[in-house]
Amino acid sequence: MKVALDAMGGDNAPQINITGAIEALKSFPKLGHLFLVGDEDVLKKACSAQGLNLSDSRVSIVHAPEVIGMAEPGAKSVRRKKLSSISIGVDLVKDGTADAFVSAGNTGAAVAAATLKLRRLKGVDRAGIASPLPNEHGICSILDAGANPESKPEHLVAYAIMGTAYSRYVLGVKDPKVGLMSNGEEEEKGTTFTKETFKRLKATPGINFIGNVEGHDLFETQLDIVLCDGFVGNIVLKSVEATAKAVSKWLKTEIKETPLRMAGAVLAQGAFKALKAKSSYETYGGSPLLGVNGVVIIAHGSSTGLAVRNAIRVAVETVEHKINPRIEEAMATLSEPVTVSTKPS
């Protein structure tokens, strides 16, 4: 198992990526080799400072002198910066040197590089990001969480099929439940887009479509995949993350108001730690970009070392379970193709 890591990607690169790399190499024996992609001089200094031994046969640096900044336009930057850590990292997957690529860098650039260089799987017109959210019953994946902001109904049908395959074969869900994000549970609720999508999903074989779902269902209902366009998905994901941070901050402030509350907090430390582990994106690491002909994992821009470590774990698991052949097999069972004639983004 060989994984390429965008060592220059993220708000706190390269330090957090080196930390994550060290932990991944310790934790995952199936990780046969880890390529650190980025500026060689910068990475050598960072590795030395953090104690990552580059004489270890399981790790090496792949020089990439350019970096795509978080605020730069994705597709344009990939075309302009051919020697960026994202471009070269995806190239390693394309030529078979690496089995997967992990990046906490510019999401738009990672999606564009993967789409342009790896191309899409047969039957898939748009790739989608499947971002995990914990709920009362396990993990619910939002699909798409930002790769395709202007989706069409046929794209969401493909997301349903790909998300079902990922949940079944990688996450181990026997019969994944698929819901469509809308403003009401009734079939007639929603926009023209969601109504048309509903009709197509209802007629799609091989998925367990349970109908429309609302925001509260993300946490209360037994759901495995929630479908939406990338615009809505990204807003939902960031709103949930911001709410979790706000509640945590408010709780800490209220606890500090009285000595009695602080004493109670000490007794409840175990519960607080368990809740943080369950609700933090660090635990889940990264989100797979489903639909491209290769394994690409998108990590949070503000990832910590733990998040990077777990993003590498997700990459290893996704490769191990051969998700792309599973997706192609599932797409081939459709009585009608879900692809449409559009120009590559």
| Spatial distance between the Cα atoms of 156 and 146, rounded to a whole number of angstroms | 13
Preceding amide of 14 cis, omega within 30:
yes
Instruction: Judge whether 101 and 43 are in contact, CB under 8 Å.
Output: no
CATH class held by domain 128-285? alpha beta
Q: What is the pLDDT of residue 343?
A: 40
Instruction: Judge whether 207 and 164 are in contact, CB under 8 Å.
Output: yes
| Spatial distance between the Cα atoms of 263 and 84, rounded to a whole number of angstroms | 51
Count of CB atoms situated within 10 Å of the CB of 269: 9
Reported as type and span, the H/E element at residue 197 is: helix 192-202
Closest alpha carbon to 159 in 169, 170, 148: 148
Q: What is the pLDDT along the chain (345 residues), one digit of tens a residue?
A: 999 999 999 999 999 999 999 999 999 999 999 999 999 999 999 999 999 999 999 999 999 999 999 989 988 999 999 999 999 999 999 999 999 999 999 999 999 999 999 999 998 999 999 999 988 888 899 999 999 999 999 999 999 999 999 999 999 999 999 999 999 888 888 999 999 999 999 999 999 999 999 999 999 999 999 999 999 999 998 898 888 889 888 988 999 889 888 899 888 888 878 777 676 677 788 999 999 999 999 999 889 999 999 999 999 999 999 999 999 999 987 645 444 333 433
Using CA of residue 114, residue 116, residue 121, residue 124, what is the dihedral sign? positive
- How does strand 138-143 pair with strand 59-63? unpaired
Q: Retrieve residue 261's tokens.
A: 């509350």
- How does strand 128-135 pair with strand 138-143? antiparallel
130 beta partners: 143
Q: What is the pLDDT of residue 108?
A: 94
| Spatial distance between the Cα atoms of 171 and 173, rounded to a whole number of angstroms | 6
Q: What is the pLDDT of residue 344?
A: 38
138 beta partners: 135
Q: What is the pLDDT of residue 32?
A: 96
| pTM for this model (two decimals) | 0.89
Q: What is the pLDDT of residue 46?
A: 95
Q: 1-120+291-321 with 128-285: one CATH topology?
A: yes
Q: What is the pLDDT of residue 21?
A: 97
Q: What is the pLDDT of residue 185?
A: 87
| Spatial distance between the Cα atoms of 98 and 299, rounded to a whole number of angstroms | 18
Using DSSP's 3-state secondary structure scheme, residue 36 falls into: strand
61-89 pLDDT, tens digit per residue, is: 999 999 999 989 988 999 999 999 999 99
Closest alpha carbon to 223 in 235, 209, 234, 237: 209
Domain residue ranges in the chain: 1-120+291-321, 128-285
| Spatial distance between the Cα atoms of 119 and 125, rounded to a whole number of angstroms | 10
Does domain 1-120+291-321 bear CATH number 2.40.440.10?
no
Compute and round to an integer the Cα radius of gyration of the chain: 20
Instruction: Judge whether 74 and 100 are in contact, CB under 8 Å.
Output: no
Q: What is the pLDDT of residue 336?
A: 52
| Spatial distance between the Cα atoms of 264 and 286, rounded to a whole number of angstroms | 34
297-345 pLDDT, tens digit per residue, is: 999 988 999 999 999 999 999 999 999 999 999 998 764 544 433 343 3
